[in-house]
Amino acid sequence: MKDKSYYFYQSFRFKRYIIYILITILAIGLPFVHMGEGQVFLISFEHKQIHLLGNIYSAQEMYLLPLLVIFLFVFIFFMTSMLGRVWCGWGCPQTIFRVIHRDLIETKILGLRTQINNKQRPVRSDLKNWLKKIASCILFLPVPIAAMAVLLFYFVPPYEFLEGINAPKEHMLLLGIWAALSAVVFFDIVVVQERFCIYLCPYARVQSVLFDDDTLNPIYDTQRGGLIYDKKDMKIPALPQKRNPANECVSCNHCVLVCPTHIDIRKGMQLECINCLECVDACTMTMGKLNKPSLINWSSSNATSTKQKVRLWRTKTIAYIGVLVLVIGALIVGSLEKASMILDITHGGRLYSVKNGYVKNTYIFLFQNTSSKTHTYTFSIDDPHISIVRPKNPLSIGARGKMKVVVVLRMPMEAAKQAYGKHDVTHAKRGILPIAIKAYSTDDPSITSTQESVFIVPDF
C-alpha cells in the first residue's frame, strides 16, 4: 500500500507549495533586478516615473498605462475562462499567507489543530489554546511586515526604502503607509481569514460570468460516485452506497473536512471554491486505498460527463489570446517609440504686445529630457519672419531633468499683416496665426519634437 509521503509528493498541495516558493522568490527579487536604465517594474509617485523592462517613463509618457491595464484585465479573463479560479488557490497572497498562518504555524508548529487535512474541526476554547493563538499571532507578525515592505519596493526603490528606515523622522509618511498596510493584512489573515475570499473578494463575483462548461474546476463525478445533493441542492439523507452499491463514494467526507472555505464540492461548482484542489488530493488518497481513481478531478463539466479530454483551446480562449497578442504588440511598438524629449508649450497670459513696429508673444516652454544623458536644446519657428527674442542661448538639461523657460517671439507688424491677410480667417480664428515650433538637441540631431501653437496678432 502506498504511504502518505507518496501521495503528498504526487499531490496538488505539494505542487502549490513549490509555486508559492517560486512566487515569493520572484516577488522579493524582482525589485532588485535592473535592466537598461531602470528597474524591471516600478511605479514611483515621488519621482513621477514608471519603470518597465528597463525603460523609464515620466508622468507625461503615461500613454502605455492604459495598455498595461487592458493587458492585465484581458489576461485575467483568459486565465479564468481556461483554468478557473486558479489565481486564488495558486498565486493569491491571501491564500499563501493563510497557508503560512493556519497550516504551518498553527497546525505544524504549535499543534493548535490536529492536522492540515481537517480544517473544519473547531479549536477548543481553553487557556492553553488561547496562549497558542497568541503565540501564532506573534510568530506570524513578521510575515505581513516583510510582505508589505516587498510590496512597497514596487513603488519606492528598495535602496530608498531602506534609507527611509534609517531616517524615520524624514520619512514618516512612508513608514506610516507601511505600518497601516501591515496592520490591515495581519487583521485580514488572522481575523477575517477565508471570509475575505467568500464575501469580500470581487474576483469571486467576476468568475461566474467567465466560466463555461469547458473551464477547469474541481469536479465531482456523479456518474461514478452517485448524487449527494438533489436538484434543489438539499443533501440526500441516504448515503450513496446504501442507495446503490455501484456508487463509489464512501462518504468519508475528507473532501469536505480539508476545504479551506468550508464547502462540499460534491454539491457542484460554488462561488466559494478557490481552486486549491485540496479536495482532489483528499479523494485521490481515499480512493487510492481502494485501488480506484479519484472521484474528484481537476477537469471540466463537459470532459467529466463525456469522458473526453478537456477543451482548453476553444473560440473564447483563442480570441483572448488574439487580443493579448495585439496589446503586447502595441506595448512593444510604444516602447520602441519612446521619446527622448518632451516639449509642452503654453501661451502666455497676455495675448500680444505691440512695440517699435513689432508684435510680441510670450510663451512658457517646459522642456523635459527623458533620456539618461545630458543634452543641449534649442528651437526654431517655421515662419521665417518670426524671430526669437528670448532665450538667446541653447538650454542644457541634465538626464531626466526638466526646465521651464519663458520664451518671447516677435514679428514685424507689416509681415504679420501680410501673413494675416493670406490666412483663412473665420470669426473663431480672428487675430490667430498658426505656427509650428520645432525643438531639437544640438548634440543629437535624432532628438526632435515639433509642436503646433499660435502667434496672436491684432485683428487687422
| Residue 448 and residue 440 in contact, taking contact as beta carbons nearer than 8 Å | yes
Mean pLDDT score, 144-172: 90
In the prediction, which pLDDT does 428 show?
A: 42
How many other C-beta atoms can be found within 10 angstroms of the C-beta atom of residue 82? 22
In the prediction, which pLDDT does 138 show?
A: 95
In the prediction, which pLDDT does 1 show?
A: 55
State the Cα angle at 373 between 370 and 377, rounded to 5°: 70
How far from 411 is each of 379, 419, 441, 457, CA to CA, in Å? 16, 10, 25, 9
On average, the pLDDT of the chain sits at 87
pLDDT tops 50 at residue 427: no
Mind listing the pLDDT tens digit for each residue in 51-106? Answer: 877 777 776 666 777 888 899 889 988 999 998 888 999 999 999 999 999 999 99
How far, in Å, CA of 108 to CA of 115, rounded? Answer: 8
- Largest alpha-carbon pair distance within the chain? 109
How far, in Å, CA of 347 to CA of 142, rounded? Answer: 55
How many other C-beta atoms can be found within 10 angstroms of the C-beta atom of residue 422? 9
Percentage of the chain exceeding pLDDT 90: 46
pLDDT tops 80 at residue 3: no
What residues are paired with 379 via a beta bridge? 439
91 is written with which cell numbers? Answer: 498565486
pLDDT tops 60 at residue 240: yes
pLDDT tops 90 at residue 400: no
pLDDT tops 90 at residue 47: no
pLDDT tops 70 at residue 200: yes
Mean pLDDT score, 180-207: 90
In the prediction, which pLDDT does 59 show?
A: 67
In the prediction, which pLDDT does 36 show?
A: 73
Mean pLDDT score, 118-127: 79
Nearest to 254 by CA among 216, 225, 281, 227: 281
Query: CB neighbours of 386 closer than 8 A, spacing ≥ 6?
Result: 409, 410, 411, 435, 455
Count Cα atoms within 13 angstroms, Cβ side, for 183. 6
How far, in Å, CA of 291 to CA of 380, rounded? Answer: 84
How far, in Å, CA of 312 to CA of 329, rounded? Answer: 24
Query: CB neighbours of 169 closer than 8 A, spacing ≥ 6?
Result: none
pLDDT confidence bin for 40, thresholds 50/70/90: confident
pLDDT confidence bin for 423, thresholds 50/70/90: low
Percentage of the chain exceeding pLDDT 70: 95
In the prediction, which pLDDT does 6 show?
A: 78
Residue in the block written with cell 493556519 = 102
- 144 preceded by a cis bond (ω within 30 of 0): no
Higher pLDDT, 303 or 336: 303
Q: How far is CA 455 from the centre of its chain?
A: 45
In the prediction, which pLDDT does 103 show?
A: 92
| Residue 306 and residue 213 in contact, taking contact as beta carbons nearer than 8 Å | no
How far from 225 is each of 193, 234, 241, 266, 286, CA to CA, in Å? 32, 17, 9, 9, 13
Residue type, 236: I
| Residue 49 and residue 58 in contact, taking contact as beta carbons nearer than 8 Å | yes
267 is written with which cell numbers? Answer: 454539491
Mind listing the pLDDT tens digit for each residue in 431-443? Answer: 788 889 999 999 8
Higher pLDDT, 269 or 404: 404
pLDDT tops 80 at residue 259: yes
In the prediction, which pLDDT does 424 show?
A: 57
Helical ranges in 60-171 per DSSP H? 65-83, 86-90, 93-98, 127-140, 142-152, 158-166
In the prediction, which pLDDT does 272 show?
A: 87
DSSP 144-204: HHHHHHHHHTTTS-HHHHHHHHHSGGG-HHHHHHHHHHHHHHHHIIIIITTHIIIII-HHH
Mind listing the pLDDT tens digit for each residue in 322-363? Answer: 999 999 988 888 776 677 788 889 887 777 888 889 999 999
How far, in Å, CA of 52 to CA of 39, rounded? Answer: 7
pTM score, whole prediction: 0.77
pLDDT confidence bin for 210, thresholds 50/70/90: confident
How far from 304 is each of 82, 208, 241, 252, CA to CA, in Å? 16, 19, 21, 22
| Residue 431 and residue 416 in contact, taking contact as beta carbons nearer than 8 Å | no
In the prediction, which pLDDT does 415 show?
A: 87
